[in-house]
Structures are given as C-alpha cells and as structure tokens.
Amino acid sequence: METTRVAGIIPRVAWLLLLFGLSGTAAEEVCDSPLVANLLPSSFRSSSQLSSSHAPGFAKLNRRDGAGGWSPLTSDRYQWLEVNLGERTKITAVATQGRYGSSDWLTSYQLMFSDTGHNWKQYRQEDSIGSFPGNTNADSVVQYKLQQLVVARFLRLIPLDWNPSGRIGLRLETYGCPYTSDVASLDGSSSLVYRQSPASRRAQRDVITLKLKTLRNSGTLLQAEGREGLSLGLELERGRLLLLFRQGRTLSAEPRRLASLGSLLDDQHWHHVAVELHSLHLNLTVDKHTLRVKIPTEFHHLNIEELSVGAIQDLGSHKPFHSKRNFHGCLENLLFNSLNLIELAKLKDHKVTLVGNVTFSCAEPVPVAVTFPGLRSFLQLPWTTSSSSGSVLIGFQFRTWNKAGLLLTFDLPHQGGVAWLFLSEARLRLQIQKGGRVLLELSAGSGLSDGQWHSVELNSRRSHLTVSVDKNEGDSAQASLSFSVTAENHVFFGGCPAGDGQGCRNYFSAFQGCMRLLSLDSRIMDLIAVQRKQLGNYSNLQIDMCGIIDRCSPSRCEHGGLCSQTWTVFHCNCSDSGYSGATCHSCEFLTMFSLFFLPAVYEQSCEAYKHNGNTSGYFYIDVDSSGPIKPQLVYCNMTESDTWMIIQHNNTELTRVRPAPGVDQQLVHFNYSSEEEQLLGSISQSEHCEQELSYHCRKSRLLNTPEGSPFSWWLGGRAPGRAQTYWGGAHPGSQQCICGLQGDCVDPQHYCNCDADRLEWTEDTGLVTHKESLPVRSLVVGDIQRPGSEAAYRVGPLRCYGDKNFWNAAFFDKETSYLHFPTFHGELSADISFFFKTTASSGVFLENLGIKDFIRIELSTSTQVVFSFDVGNGPLEVQVESTVPLNDNHWHRVRAERNIKEASLRLDNLPVATQEAPADGHVHLQLNSQLFIGGTASRQRGFRGCIRALQLNGVTLDLEERAKITPGVQPGCPGHCSSYGSLCQNQGRCVERAAGFHCDCSLSAYTGVFCQTELSASFKPGTSVRYTFKEPYELTRNSSALPSSIYSDTTLRGENVSISFRTAQSPALLLYVSSYYREYLAVLINKHDKLEVRYKLEGNRDAEVLRSSGARNLANGQLHSITIRRLTNTVSVQIDQNAREDFNLTSDGEFNAIKSLVLGRVHESGDLDPHLARLASLGFIGCLSVVRFNSINPLKAALLHPDTSPIIITGPLVQSNCGSAASANPYAAENIHHISDQSGSVGSGQPLVNAIRTDSALIGGVIAVVIFVILAGLAVAARYLYRRKDTYRNQEGNAVKQEDNPDFPFNNQTDSQNLSTENAKEYFI
C-alpha cells in the first residue's frame, strides 16, 4: 500500500472544490457581487455602540449615514460587529474602511463565520494566520480576497488593533454570490441507499463528493459495494476520516485500512469529502488536502454498483444494521458521478431508497463552547448553592493538546482550603489543600491531551467524593472524606485573574483549550450571558467557538517523522527517520562529535565522501539529499584512480545450476541491499556503472546464434526488468558474448564460447556497462537437462564510479553574468546546497523573487554569508561569519534550509545559525520570477567565481549545460587541488582532473587514495630485498621505461632516509647501502638497543659510527620511526618524536657510485668489517615499513612492482599491516579485509548500521565503555612496558632452537602474533 500526499492547489483539487455543493454552477461564474450594501439595519448587530448615530447599521462601505460608521462604546478586543446575510452565501472577499471624517479605523482584525449565529469558526490564511491587515486612514478601502471561499450566513468581524490616536471605527463590505444546496439529516439509524441500474453505462472512474457536519467523532459514513463482495468504506474515527476496503459480503469481514485524512471533523462545521476512484489508485480529499492511494491488487477495477450512506447495511441482506458506530449528522450535496443523490431522494427516484428517519434539513443544537487561548485566560462563575449543603457537583467537557493546565479551582468555605482540578502528564488530578498541607489527592484518566472532547464530573456528597472522566467509557477515582467539600463563592475555570485579590490561587500552568457544557449543581451555564457581561467574569476568552487547530494534520514532519503538538506549536520526532531538523527535512545523522558541535551529513555519493577525506569503508549515501529516497548503506572502495560504489545482492558467488526433473529452465532472482529508487538514483547519477556476468559451462549452450532463440537470458533495468539477450561485454540486442565481439570464441562459427557445446569446461564472462540495462534483476538458465550438461553462473555486485552531480559546475567571470532556471518551488520547505570558490569579496549566489516574497543567498563580505527571505512576515536573515577569508579561491560549502518552523544556514564546518519563524505567521513561500544563479534580475551585485553541485530540494541543477549557451558563463571549473590538495599525504602529489583530482603516490613510500596507507612487510632471517641502482655503464644512457623513482644519480652528496620498524631483535641491521668503491651506509640497532648509523664514505678509511643517545630500547617490539638526513659532512638523526641529534663526519662528504640498497639479510658483505658482516648475514626479524631513500621507495617497489623494478627478493616477504600505528600490539593478528565482507568498517565520521539512531542513552553508554576501555588499556600497557625487557632477555636462549622448528611462527606468512619469540642471537660488535 502506498500513499502520496498531493501538495498545493492542483487542477484536480480545484475541480473537486467546485463540485462540493456548487449545484449546477459553472466554473467560470463570477462571484464578486456586493452583499452588504442592500441589507437592512436589522441585519447588523454589535457588541456595543458609542451612540445611536454610531450604530452597526451605519457600517456600510462608502456611506456617510449617521456618524459615518460603527464605533463601540469601549475600544477593546472584546468588541465585534456581526452581519446577517439572510441565507447561506458564498463569500469571496472582504473590504474595510474607517469611520468617515474621523481618526477611527482598524489596523488589524479577525473574521468569524457561522451558519446559525452561534458556533463561530475563525477564518485563517494558510491554516495559521488569524488576522488581516486593516486600514491606514479613515477613507481608503482595503480589500482582501479570501484564499478559499467561505459558505456562511453570518459574518462577524473582531477588531484587534486600531489607530492609537482614535478609537475603533468601521465600515465594511463583503463580496460573493448566492449558494444553493441539498441537505439531508441522518440520526444514526437512518440511511440513503443508491443502486445503479444494470443498464447504466459504466464510467471510466467513479467520483463521490459530499459535505458533512457532525458532533460525533466516530461513525460509518458510507459504503460503496462493487462486484464479488468487494466494497469501499469511509468511516469517522476520533474525528479523522478512514478509508477502508472490505472483501466479503458480511459485516464480520475484517476491513483493510488504507489511509486516513482530516482531523477534528466533529466540530459541527461543514467539511468537504471526495473520493475519485480509478482502476489502480484513488484520490481521497478532505477539505483542501488530498492523498493519492494505491489500491491493492485484489480491489482493482472496483466498479461501484451500490452506495449506502449513513446506517451500516448488511451487504448480504441489504437491511440496516443499528449501531452507535453509524453516522449521526448532516450531509450536503451528495454527488455520485455528478448525480445529486439527495435531490433524487427528494424526487423519490426509484434508484434511491431512504431507510429510517431521513429529513431534508439540518437541525443544529450546538452547545456553546469557549476557547482559552493564552496565559491570561480565565472564566469566573458564581456558586449560588448554599455552602451548608456540604455538597458540590460540577461538570464540563474539554479538549486540548496540552498535557498540563488548570481546569478549575475554588475555595472551601470557612476552612481556608482550596481545591484544584488540573491536568498533569495528560491525566486528570484533583488536589485539596489546607494550610499548605495536602488533604486529598486523586487521579483519573490518561491520554487526555489527544484533542478529543472529554467529559469531567466532580461530585462530592455525604462525605464521599468522586472524580470521573468520560463517564461509562472512561475512568473514575473515589475517596471517603472526613470533611465536606463545597465551593464558597466562585468557581474559576482555566486560570485565575491577575493578582490575588479575588480569592483565586493558581500554582499550575494555565489551561489552553476549549470547554463546553459547563454545569454547576446540575445547571448548565449560559455562556452567551457571560459574553454579554450579564453573568460572571472573564478575560481573554473566545466565547461561542472552539478555536482548536490540529497542527499535525496534515503532518508537516517529512520522511516519516512523528508529529506531536501542544496548543501553540508542533514538534517532529526524527529519531527513526534518518533525517533531522525541525521538520525532518535535512539528510543528517548525529555522531559523538556532533553532540558537542554539529550534525554530520549523509553525502550523495562515494565521490563526495572521498572529498571529505574518507577512505574505503561502508557509508550511508542519500542520492537525493532531502528528497523522498531514503539513505542506503553501500561500500565505497576508494582507489587511487576511481572511487567505486559497490551495492551487493543476495548471491555474488559462483553458483552451480542443478537440473530439476520436469523443469526446462531455472529462474534466479537477485535481491539487492538497496531499494528500487535507491538503485535507480545511484545508477543515474554515476558516470559509469558495471556488473559482471559469468557463465561457466560444459555441454550447456548459452545464447545460441543471433538468428535463433536464446537458451538463457537475463532481466535488467527498472524493476521488474526487461529481457536482455546479450551477455556481458557485448552490445545490447546483439545476442553475442564478448568473444563474439572480439572474434576470439573457441568456435568461430558461434558468438559465445559456451555455444560451441563442447565437453570441456569453458566460460563466457564480461561486464554489463549499459546503465539502462542495470542492475541485473534475474537470470533464466536453460539447456541444463541434457545428459552431461553442467553449468554455473555468477552475477557480481553492482559497481559504479563518478558523480555527475558533484562536479557539475559553472564559472561566472563578470558581475553582470548569470544563469536562469525555472521558478523554484519550495513553498513549505526549501533546502539549498552548493560549493563556491571566489577571489571576490561579495556577490549574490542565488535569487528568486515573488510579488512580495523572495529568497536570496549571498556573500555579503569576504567573511560572511547571508541567507535572506520573506514569506509575508517581513524580511528575515540568517548569517554565518567565518574566521578566515572566504575569497581565498578554495571551495567552500553552503547549506541553507527554510521550513515553516525555522531557517538555518551552515557554512563549511562552522556551527549552524538558525532563525525561528514567527508564531502563527505566513508559511508559504510564493515565488513567480525566474531563478537566478550567480546574479540578480537587476544585474547588480553579481557573483564572480565558481559554483558547483547546486541542489534545490535534492534536485541538482545542470549548470554546465546551461552555461554552454549563456554568454559570460563557462561550464566547469578547474583548480580543485587548491582546495583538496592537502588530502594528499606523505609526499603524495595532487593531480588535477576535469572532474576532481587524484593523489599521485609514485614518489611516496605510501599508497592508497590519499597516499595514506603504509606499506609494511614481515621479515624473517632468510628474507632479503635488494634494490640495484644504475650500473656505471648505464649512466651514459638516456632512456628508461620505468618511473623516475626507480633510478637515481649514483654519486650522492647527501641522503634523506626514513624507515619505520618493529622488532625484538638486538642487535639488528635495518638498512644497508653499498657502493662500487667499498663505501657504505649501515643503519642498525646495537647491542644496547640503541640506534647506530655507520658511514664509510672513503674506501681506505674505517667507518664512522654515529651513536644516538636519545631513544632507548628500540628492540621492544613497538613501532619506531627513524629519519636520517645528510648534507655533505653534516648528519641529523631523529627517532620518533624525540629531539633531533646532529653529527659531523670527517670524510669528504661524497657517497660515490652507489650500487645497491638491501633490506634484511645481506648476501654480499665482503666490504664490511667482521662484526657487521656477521650481523648482516643473520638477516632481520620483524617488521619494516615505509622505507624511503631519497626519492626511492624500495619496499614499496618490492611489494607492488616486483616485476618492473630493479628488485631482487630472496626468502619469504609477507606484506602486512604490522607497520600501522593501529597495530601497536605486536601480538595482534593481522587484519585482512575483503570488499565483499559485509562486516567491514564504516569510513571515518560514519557510524555503521545504527548511523541514524540518536538515542542519548545508547550514546552515553558507548562513551562510558570507550572511556573504561581506554583507562584499562593504559594500565595494561604500563604493566606490559615494565615487564617487556625482561621477557626478551629470558627468551634469547631459545631463539635459535625455535628458528629451526618447522612450526616456527614466521612460516605462516600472515601471522605476526609471536614476534617476541623471534629474537636472533645477540652478537656484540
């Protein structure tokens, strides 16, 4: 079941509104006739009048009769002017004017409408604005056209503000036209039944429209029965309209609820309802809100044959079923496919049957309600029953959204006590106090802040007190009393007057809501008499109306956020939506970091995550940002060349096809980890996508010939997929495999290897790269039933790279240049995001104008971005100030959002700036001009620079295509390394691309997407890596096919050496560089576990030994880093983060004709002194990492390019992560990751599966665990370091024996757990 909310006024809804009771009225009818000008004075009423010449009958527009208009006796907000139009009329506009020749006029006012002169309903603009702008002088006319026409007989205008130099003065006119309707009243046991004649022509669609008015919040409104017992129903439940489908001809058949719409439909006001039924979907409309509902398959083509309105009909016997659940109220203009059923009933047409007491009028006995809108609201009523009776009986009904508030209070006579009846946590509580001591406390009911009417009764009689809620259907609480409870003089409802002088004390929050049927001692209070100041007292009340508003219907919370509300505001709970913000509009998640700073953002692609500095891992991507498509978890494989997004399905392994008896073909379906719209969105925005198709066969044909029918095929593209008869690597529709395209199939007469039908195993494997055919949905495998036929298939994961949207950019080279697009439609919610870079100090990024409304984002100064807009409440601004200049020609990111609750602006990673929307203000952003990018309509203050990845409500604007045809604007924008070059680490070089950049790691000892991945290898005693420099005779040659990092000059006046290592061997040779002239450089750990650097730069002299006195215990199994720099005879050495040590050599400073560099065991050690030669022959046991000698990276060449580098490797060389800082524990097993491993880690800044959870308790628990683990780790490490050295010494005697053992740990190339047992025997130099 799917429901889609249709926002805005669309042609279909407009057409439906015309159908709602506009019997026989043409759509083009003009409805603007004056309605007040010809009325008699008796049609006017008012709260008061200043004099007979200021009577309400003089309040006609442009008239000068009497004193020139109406003025009340007192100018306050309790005054009103009422007009009786004589009959229900369509009202389309209102005009006001001040009192002629005076200083009296209104500056703002409210409008109320009613059919009966009671139960008024306030007219609101945009469902929120309750006031209208008035006049600025006494004579000008201000006319306001109503956004939705009103049908009413009575109009009441309530002044809110007036000229401060005068008083209230008013003349008015209303405009509209006559209204006709047919009305029927149903009493809960009556109904109207319409049956189509068998010969009636079936309509392509069925349309039911009506208006309803009721005081009951529940009841079945109608049932529409089709063929084979299928029926559709509309039912009121708690003031909402439910759409139900039922299968079966009895009432016991359980209905299926498909949708609900509307709220507070039990307010005794007219509400529009429409059902537009198509074969596959229907549109349900309540008032001005429409839902599009997908109809379940079994209910398709529901042709309505019978329509029953009112009392439930037994679908089998067609007899009325009496129930309290039947509709009780009035219907108006009930239309079925344009047939007026009430009119047919009046004419006693045979197709319409009336059951029970159906009357053609609408009786409206409506109880008078009173609204408590604010903190100063109260109602004071006198208690006239003698206190000597010792009893009290008070009853009333209330409805509210607030969980707390004072309902009533009164003083107890002669006792100094007080009683409070109030709401707390949506429960009813009674508390009686005396002298600060609680004498009695009771509670009853629950969930009373649901907006429904609830009845309350407080009854105290004969030492027994009862508080009940909702009578028989609710809850009650009782208590026996040792004292009498009765009211002294007054009972206060909702609150207390200001000050303490009237015997009312309120220690609770004021009540905001509605009350009705207030009774004291079983007597209903006359609230109209209260309004006329004839009974009791009140303040800040709206009498004879209930002004409750459901701010959650329709819900303004997006993406499945849960809406809750109080009397004045609504809130969105976004915790389970995957989105955030005031209305769950923003695609963001919370991280631990964001708890202290700001939320992170779900990016739209792996490419975007890469440019945030993330490396490979699992990430949530949201292809349409704030759009309807949910985030999806994918694997991002960040390589040096491309950034791949990988989406798995349920079977990516090579799978054998086993024949089944009687089955000629087998269908295999692939279920992807992403949903349909997520898949299609990911494919659409990617530059390239591919998926491997592989078929392994033995005597099992695949596609046959291009002229014949294929034996196997696959389905791909948009679900459920289209049949594809080509294989991976070939062209769509070719019915070929890649070997047929290349002409190298095993049988030239066929276009696939498997079609050769041979007994030997062969295969057809290729990549599907046509995005229209992706993803692969299903595979149909045939030709597996013959004797000897065998086959297996593999469909790889969906792999895509590139993001067409992320790099879509335009360059604006003049202030007068701009791009224009169609009007931006972001009426209720708008989010805008983009990147910019510039050298200018100001300029407008974006602007869209309306008649009065506008939206604009600009760089106002070199350090400030401003987001400004106006939705009718006056201009508002949100500003973010940067601490660094923004005109630095680096990319900066801007994200702006505006919804009906707030506006926000974010710049780069600075804190978010927000601006709350005015309470009960305009909410619709109404724009009508073109959208200007990079400039304004006035061609002033234009932006000079680059804008890219511009998205409005999740939709990317194609700046490049528009720039191609626009003078002064160029497509694309180079220079990405200025912003992203810092991501390239460890001497990696940033290389520009047309769309992005990549890091060239050829000169770095590291690898990875940002040259951030260290290259480590585990060495054993027999391991040797020998890097050979140029032979002497090669120096005259001037060509090389290998990278420049492979070779270097052979005579050096300086070196830059860096190496990281981890070992427990002492002494140990780390690196040895030899020359053709018996010169060498040796880096080693001596017997004291300290670093020694030995230089022999003159063949006839002894080596010079440079001993470091800094770091100790370098053979402790921990990771250490060494940097050695020599310039002629000056040498500097730095170990880890210790201070640098400087040395001076006595030799001439030239290292002549270098020959080779050796890591590990040195096989040619004839030039070394005996002690060093013996150490070199032992080899190195441990881990070496990121070895660099000048521009040469010998370990990287050995691990990644052994076949194309001058490298000789002897013995076992095992690549590992032992040189990673994360592997500080030498006993930890190495981690080997596979892309297809679903348990892989999420990239930096991105939590895994529960990324969208924001439960604070869970986060707090995680923080506590992390802190505990850190403290425990520090304690263990301290103990470990203290005992480590003794452990090494104790194990030295066993080292050689272990090396001879066939189970020696280093025989396992991927095992680095037992480093401590690998000590070579110590030799002394």
Beta bridge partners of residue 656, listed in sequence order: 792
What does the pLDDT average to over 161-180?
96
**Given this model, what pLDDT does residue 628 score?**
85
What beta strand segments (E) does 1054-1112 contain?
Answer: 1054-1062, 1068-1075, 1080-1085, 1091-1096, 1104-1107
* pLDDT of residue 926 exceeding 50: yes
Alpha helices in 256-361 (DSSP H): 341-346
**Given this model, what pLDDT does residue 1272 score?**
56
CA angle 911, 915, 916 (to 5 degrees): 130
* pLDDT of residue 1168 exceeding 90: no
Instruction: Provide the 3-class DSSP secondary structure of residue 289.
Output: strand
**Given this model, what pLDDT does residue 600 score?**
57
User: Greater confidence, 484 or 777?
Assistant: 777
Who's near 388: CB < 8 A, 6+ residues apart? none
* pLDDT of residue 599 exceeding 50: no
* DSSP letter for each residue of 793-836: EEEPPEEEE--TTTT-EEEE-STT--EEESPP--SS-EEEEEEE
**Taking every pair of C-alpha atoms in the chain, what is the biggest distance, in angstroms?**
130
What's the pLDDT band for 322 if we cut at 50, 70, 90?
Answer: very low
Which helix (H) or strand (E) is 610 found in, with range?
helix 606-610
- Rg for the chain (alpha carbons), in Å? 42
**Given this model, what pLDDT does residue 591 score?**
41
* DSSP letter for each residue of 721-788: -EEE-S-TTS-TTS---HHHHHT--SSTTSSSSGGG--SS-EEEEEEE--GGG-SEEEEEE-S--STT
Instruction: Dig out the tokens for 163 from the structure.
Output: 């000229």
* pLDDT of residue 1296 exceeding 50: no
pLDDT digits 0-9 by tens, 505-515: 778 889 999 99
**Given this model, what pLDDT does residue 1322 score?**
30
User: Greater confidence, 1298 or 759?
Assistant: 759
The CB density around residue 115, as the number of other CB atoms within 10 Å, is 21
What does the pLDDT average to over 160-189?
95
Dist CA 517 CA 515 (whole Å): 7
Instruction: Please give the C-alpha separations between residue 1002 and each of 1010, 1015, 1055, in angstroms, as whole numbers.
Output: 12, 13, 19
Dist CA 1027 CA 1015 (whole Å): 16
pLDDT digits 0-9 by tens, 272-300: 999 999 888 899 999 989 999 988 887 87
Of the chain, the percentage scoring pLDDT greater than 70 comes to 85
**Given this model, what pLDDT does residue 709 score?**
86
pLDDT digits 0-9 by tens, 20-46: 333 334 445 799 999 999 999 999 999
Q: Are the CB atoms for 1155 and 1080 separated by under 8 Å?
A: no
Nearest 10 degrees: Cα torsion 695, 697, 701, 704: 40
Does the CA dihedral 395-397-403-404 come out positive or negative?
A: negative
Q: Are the CB atoms for 402 and 567 separated by under 8 Å?
A: yes
What does the pLDDT average to over 1253-1257?
37
Beta bridge partners of residue 732, listed in sequence order: none
* pLDDT of residue 1087 exceeding 70: yes
* pLDDT of residue 1254 exceeding 80: no
**Given this model, what pLDDT does residue 500 score?**
57
Q: Are the CB atoms for 844 and 936 separated by under 8 Å?
A: yes
* pLDDT of residue 83 exceeding 90: yes
Dist CA 1013 CA 893 (whole Å): 28
Beta bridge partners of residue 133, listed in sequence order: 108
Dist CA 530 CA 834 (whole Å): 59
Dist CA 361 CA 359 (whole Å): 6
**Given this model, what pLDDT does residue 202 score?**
67
Beta bridge partners of residue 849, listed in sequence order: 854
Instruction: Please give the C-alpha separations between residue 1081 and each of 514, 1152, 1164, 1205, in angstroms, as whole numbers.
Output: 92, 11, 14, 22
Tell the residue number behind the tokens 């492979």, with chain if given. Answer: 1046
Residue 56 DSSP label: G
* DSSP letter for each residue of 12-43: HHHHHHHHTT-TT--TT----EESSTT--GGG
Dist CA 1325 CA 1171 (whole Å): 5
What's the pLDDT band for 1258 if we cut at 50, 70, 90?
Answer: very low
- For 829, list phi and psi in degrees, rounded to 5: -145, 135
Does the CA dihedral 807-810-813-818 come out positive or negative?
A: negative
Instruction: Provide the 3-class DSSP secondary structure of residue 1120.
Output: strand
Instruction: Dig out the tokens for 168 from the structure.
Output: 């209230």
* pLDDT of residue 604 exceeding 80: yes
**Given this model, what pLDDT does residue 1252 score?**
32
Q: Are the CB atoms for 628 and 5 separated by under 8 Å?
A: no
User: Greater confidence, 402 or 1223?
Assistant: 402
Long-range Cβ contacts of 1201-1205 (<8 Å, 24+ apart) = 1204/1042, 1205/1027, 1205/1042, 1205/1046
**Given this model, what pLDDT does residue 376 score?**
87
Who's near 541: CB < 8 A, 6+ residues apart? 370, 371, 372, 373, 377, 378, 379
The CB density around residue 879, as the number of other CB atoms within 10 Å, is 15
* pLDDT of residue 408 exceeding 70: yes
Instruction: Please give the C-alpha separations between residue 481 and each of 418, 437, 464, 569, 805, in angstroms, as whole numbers.
Output: 15, 15, 6, 41, 75
Q: In what order do the strands lie in the sheet with 1130-1135?
A: 1141-1144, 1130-1135, 1120-1127, 1054-1062, 1182-1189, 1016-1019, 1213-1216
pLDDT digits 0-9 by tens, 520-567: 999 999 999 999 999 999 999 999 999 999 999 989 999 889 999 999
pLDDT digits 0-9 by tens, 749-779: 999 999 999 999 999 999 999 999 999 999 9
- Mean pLDDT (the chain, rounded): 84
* DSSP letter for each residue of 78-111: T--EEEEEEEEEEEEEEEEE--TTSS--EEEEEE
* pLDDT of residue 1313 exceeding 50: no
Q: Note the residue count of the chain.
A: 1325
| Residue type for position 705 | T
Q: What is the pTM of this model?
A: 0.78
The CB density around residue 1051, as the number of other CB atoms within 10 Å, is 12
pLDDT digits 0-9 by tens, 955-971: 999 999 999 999 999 99
Dist CA 766 CA 695 (whole Å): 9
Dist CA 824 CA 831 (whole Å): 11
What does the pLDDT average to over 136-145?
95
**Given this model, what pLDDT does residue 387 score?**
66
pLDDT digits 0-9 by tens, 1179-1203: 999 999 999 999 899 999 999 999 8
Tell the residue number behind the tokens 């190495």, with chain if given. Answer: 1230
**Given this model, what pLDDT does residue 375 score?**
82
Q: In what order do the strands lie in the sheet with 864-870?
A: 819-821, 931-933, 843-849, 854-861, 864-870, 876-881
pLDDT digits 0-9 by tens, 623-667: 888 888 888 999 999 988 899 999 999 999 999 998 888 788 899
CA angle 513, 516, 517 (to 5 degrees): 155
Q: How far apart are the first and last CA of the chain?
A: 82
**Given this model, what pLDDT does residue 123 score?**
93
**Given this model, what pLDDT does residue 1043 score?**
38
Does the CA dihedral 979-980-983-985 come out positive or negative?
A: negative
What beta strand segments (E) does 566-648 contain?
Answer: 570-573, 588-589, 600-601, 617-621, 632-638, 643-647
Which helix (H) or strand (E) is 345 found in, with range?
helix 341-346
Beta bridge partners of residue 5, listed in sequence order: 291
**Given this model, what pLDDT does residue 1077 score?**
86
Instruction: Dig out the tokens for 63 from the structure.
Output: 């008239």
User: Greater confidence, 1247 or 1140?
Assistant: 1140
- For 115, list phi and psi in degrees, rounded to 5: -90, -20
What's the pLDDT band for 1312 if we cut at 50, 70, 90?
Answer: very low
Q: Are the CB atoms for 512 and 405 separated by under 8 Å?
A: yes
What does the pLDDT average to over 141-146?
94
**Given this model, what pLDDT does residue 182 score?**
95
User: Greater confidence, 754 or 708?
Assistant: 754
**Given this model, what pLDDT does residue 484 score?**
81
How far is CA 1064 from its chain centroid?
52
Dist CA 356 CA 70 (whole Å): 49
**Given this model, what pLDDT does residue 229 score?**
81
**Given this model, what pLDDT does residue 252 score?**
63
The CB density around residue 392, as the number of other CB atoms within 10 Å, is 23
CA angle 393, 395, 398 (to 5 degrees): 155
Residue 839 DSSP label: S
Dist CA 173 CA 524 (whole Å): 37
